[in-house]
Amino acid sequence: MPIHILILVCALQTQPSACTPDTAIDVTQGPRVANELMCGRMGQAVLAGTALAPREGIEYVKISCIRDGAGAARSSERAKREHGQG
């Protein structure tokens, strides 16, 4: 199952575990890759080739590897909870 690369810029006071596409200040979507190792390597390469630069002492960058379908499943569950179906 392919993996999406997401590069997240999060506020320094946000815990890394809480740094998600929903809480990030900025999100850049990278290419799809075949595995987690390639996600880490390509994520760093994509980040190096962009103008994304966290403001020192204010933000940090996190590379997130999301399996295709995982984000859609979470969004569907969140929508059900918001509409009282779950």
Q: Which domain does 39 fall in, by range?
A: 3-82
Closest CA to 43 of 65, 22, 25: 65
- pTM of the full predicted structure? 0.72
pLDDT in tens, 23-74: 999 999 999 999 999 999 999 998 888 877 888 999 999 999 999 876 544 4
Domain total of the chain: 1
With residue 72 as reference, give the H or E element that holds it: helix 70-82
Cβ atoms of 33 and 3 within 8 Å: the answer is yes
